[in-house]
């Protein structure tokens, strides 16, 4: 039995995609990290759930994957565009790949956010100084660490060392940080 404290990547993917939909975007692509990673699967599932909730169809031609690097994000976005996909938004599974996706869009004469809105994931420091500043899902590492420590202390206080601990998964909320790359900033 294992206790884990993890980000709620499903909800993060859902909220990022829902935000784009609420801004009027209807042809939303997804750039994943490595396809075998659970975080990628959860972010993708959240993306699909938001599309479904709003009556939008998923289109595999609007999806590609990378390896978390800027260059792989550029290549993934380029692959989506080369398929003739007419995306008006991209949800990208991390900020570095999102920067690469923005580069690919610009290389094809597309403007961010006017032509294609972009949302990343992680809220790395570079997101705030990107051009345009990147809307992103915050990966709250401090909150995850604090909660993990609290859970560990709770288990140590309440359970003898030899007792079985039931498996438990605690998910931490990942809030959306809205900046200019999606075309909307709160006042």
Q: How many angstroms separate the CA atoms of 31 and 93, rounded? A: 6
pLDDT for the residue numbered 56? 97
Write down the pTM of the prediction: 0.88
pLDDT for the residue numbered 183? 86
Instruction: Decide if 151 contacts 5 (C-beta within 8 A).
Output: yes
| pLDDT at position 42 over 60 | yes
Nearest to 70, CA basis, from 9, 19, 120, 13: 120
Instruction: Decide if 76 contacts 42 (C-beta within 8 A).
Output: no
Nearest to 147, CA basis, from 2, 3, 11, 18: 3
| pLDDT at position 156 over 90 | no
Q: How many angstroms separate the CA atoms of 94 and 109, rounded? A: 23
| pLDDT at position 160 over 70 | no
pLDDT for the residue numbered 187? 47
Instruction: Decide if 144 contacts 6 (C-beta within 8 A).
Output: yes
Instruction: Residue count of the chain, please give it.
Output: 187
Q: Which range is most confident: 12-16, 156-160, 165-169?
A: 12-16
Average per-residue pLDDT for the chain: 90
State phi, psi for 138 to the nearest 5 degrees: -75, 125
Q: What is the pLDDT of residues 81-128, one digit of tens each?
A: 999 889 999 999 999 999 999 999 999 999 999 999 999 999 999 999
Strand partners, 32: 65
Q: What is the pLDDT of residues 47-73, one digit of tens each?
A: 999 999 999 999 999 999 999 999 999
Instruction: Decide if 113 contacts 132 (C-beta within 8 A).
Output: yes
């Amino acid at each position: 039995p294992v206790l884990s404290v993890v980000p709620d990547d499903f909800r993060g993917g859902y909220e990022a995609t829902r935000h784009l939909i609420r801004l009027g975007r209807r042809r939303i692509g997804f750039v994943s990290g490595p396809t075998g990673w659970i975080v990628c699967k959860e972010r993708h599932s959240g993306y699909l759930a938001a599309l479904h909730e709003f009556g939008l169809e998923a289109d595999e031609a609007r999806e590609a994957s990378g390896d978390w690097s800027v260059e792989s994000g550029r290549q993934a976005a380029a692959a989506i565009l080369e398929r003739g996909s007419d995306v008006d938004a991209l949800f990208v599974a991390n900020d570095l790949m999102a920067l690469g996706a923005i580069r690919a869009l610009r290389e094809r004469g597309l403007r961010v956010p006017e032509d294609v809105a972009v949302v990343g994931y992680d809220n790395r420091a570079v997101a705030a100084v990107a051009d345009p500043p990147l809307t992103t899902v915050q990966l709250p590492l401090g909150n995850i660490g604090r909660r993990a420590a609290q859970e560990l202390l709770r288990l140590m206080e309440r359970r003898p060392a030899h007792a079985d601990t039931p498996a438990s998964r605690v998910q931490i909320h990942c809030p959306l940080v809205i900046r200019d790359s999606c075309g909307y900033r709160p006042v």
